[in-house]
Structure 1
Amino acid sequence: MSLHIGAEPGQIAPYVLMPGDPLRAKWIAETYLEDVDQYSDIRNMLGFTGTYKGIRISSQGSGMGMPSFSIYAHELFADYDVQTVIRVGSAGGLRDEVKIRDVVLAQAACTDSNLNHLRFHGASYAPIADFELLQAAYSVGDERGFGMHVGNCVSSDSFYNDRAELVSGLAEYGVYAVEMEAAALYTLAAKFGRKGLALLTISDHLLTGEETTALERQESFGDMVEMALETIVSVHGV
């Protein structure tokens, strides 16, 4: 049993969707999964397992930022033998072609965090998505006509950043969006030999100042969750 999740063996499915907000994890389970069981409420970081089109899938909150995300992702991979984690979260747009409510499929993740510099003794490591998941997610989104962008994001340690230009300057090098967890997911997935993908809905835009309403966030978040679930069916379905 893990320290922070506390589920019994077998309670967590091999495939997990991870929003930052534990209440969104609950919403995913209640909205999309059948025969749902809650396996964790430690620190109110809720976790649920159910089925989607006959496949067991879990929904687990991660909290905000790479340190919090890393705790839960590490335990899912190390203690519960989870094979696939798809982060479903929000992000800030950094480029003109990225519009509010678009979905960024994060092919790779830059970061301003020191987590990987410490892990790799100062070397620059490039955290990347699992290609099979990325390809499947793109196919799902293309079939449904979603506004999508495949490319780089940046995972930042700061939400309120006094030097925002250091992150926004990455847009000149093709970085589409800023968020706070993908680099940790891709690094840990690589460490454990598992699959990881970050799907990011643009909820606000750093260039235009646009923001989504609460209703728009819910609707666009639902599109992204359906993309994630159908990606799991495509890759892992029988």
Structure 2
Amino acid sequence: MKKNELKETPHIKPNGVEIAETILLPGDPLRAKFIAENFLENPIMFNEVRGMLGYTGEYKGKKISVMGTGMGTPSMALYSWELINIFGVKNLIRIGSCGAIQDNMNLYDIVLAMGVATDSNYAHQFNLPGQFPITASYQLLEKAKKIADEKNYKVHVGNVLSSDIFYNADQTALEKWAKMGILSVEMETVGLYLNAASAGVKALTILTVSDHIFRNEQTTQEERQTAFTNMMEIALELA
């Protein structure tokens, strides 16, 4: 029996297709489809519930899955929790876009999220008696940095902001985070890293700069789906 056979949730129904222990998690399900069709050998769809496309295939002889997660911490937290706790996924690699907030960053630069600051209250459920450092798996982080360096990709390693707020009423908020050295802002990593920590599995977020918020620079929607191939290659090599 395949490990995922007969297992399903209201949100993921693989119909017996195996979900690999390593999975790439783009926010956009169309990016998952693009990766499966352009990078994986013999991809098989394992999920299409609510349009959240998921595929399993092979990359350089190793089985790997890819699945969309949607936008925001609640969506990422739901899918990553089920992938970890129901389907046995051990290595979860978010590949997404972010808005840069440091002067030395440019469009298409890659960010490896070493740690996460957040305005989310997702951690409250764990009833911890203090602050918890929300960090990536060092093993995945170290390997990703090495891969990026070998490929001569422009990469930044540091802390990102995982925010619940896209349109912030406080227009000075990001300036305050930038002063604390935060590299960029996105919306999903806090849920992923906390779920991984609570289950003892590995997680890493790899981001491509799609916008520079203070310079009002941005990429197109199509580029966000298909042009961020450097980030995708790093993530695939981690498998």
TM-score bracket for the superposition, by shorter chain length: over 0.9
Partner of 2:40: 33
Q: Check conservation: 2:34, 2:225, Cα contact below 8 A.
A: no
Residue from 152, 171, 181 that aligns with 2:178: 171
Q: How far 1:217 moved relative to its partner?
A: 3.8
Structure 1 distance, partners of 2:174, 2:128, is: 23
Partner of 2:120: 113
Gaps of 5+ in 2: 1-7
Partner of 2:13: 6
Q: Over residues 110-139 of structure 1, what are the superposed CA-to-partner deviations in whole Å (9 max), with x where a residue is unaligned?
A: 110111134336843221000010001001
Structure 1 distance, partners of 2:167, 2:205, is: 22
Alignment partner of 1:225: what SS? helix
The residue correspondences of 1:60-99 to structure 2 (distance < 5 A) are 60-99=67-106
Matched, 1:207 2:214: yes
Partner of 2:139: 132
Q: State TM-score, norm by structure 1.
A: 0.93
Matched, 1:17 2:21: no
Structure 1 distance, partners of 2:148, 2:216, is: 26
Q: Partner letter of residue 129 of structure 1?
A: A
Q: How far 1:9 moved relative to its partner?
A: 5.4
Q: Check conservation: 2:17, 2:46, Cα contact below 8 A.
A: no
Q: Check conservation: 1:154, 1:167, Cα contact below 8 A.
A: no
Aligned pair count reads 232
Moved more, 204-213 or 33-42: 204-213
Gaps of 5+ in 1: 233-238
Structure 1 distance, partners of 2:142, 2:155, is: 13
Structure 2 distance, partners of 1:132, 1:179, is: 22
Q: Check conservation: 2:36, 2:55, Cα contact below 8 A.
A: yes
Structure 1 distance, partners of 2:180, 2:168, is: 20
Q: How far 1:10 moved relative to its partner?
A: 5.6
Q: Over residues 59-89 of structure 1, what are the superposed CA-to-partner deviations in whole Å (9 max), with x where a residue is unaligned?
A: 1100000000011000000011001010000
**As a proportion of its length, which structure holds more helix?**
1
Structure 2 distance, partners of 1:122, 1:203, is: 37
Partner of 1:224: 231
Structure 2 distance, partners of 1:29, 1:46, is: 10
Change (3 A) 1:8 1:134: same
Structure 1 distance, partners of 2:75, 2:226, is: 26
Structure 1 distance, partners of 2:71, 2:222, is: 21
The share of aligned pairs that are identical, in percent, is: 43
Q: State TM-score, norm by structure 2.
A: 0.92
Change (3 A) 1:37 1:166: same
Alignment partner of 2:113: what SS? strand
Structure 2 distance, partners of 1:73, 1:112, is: 20
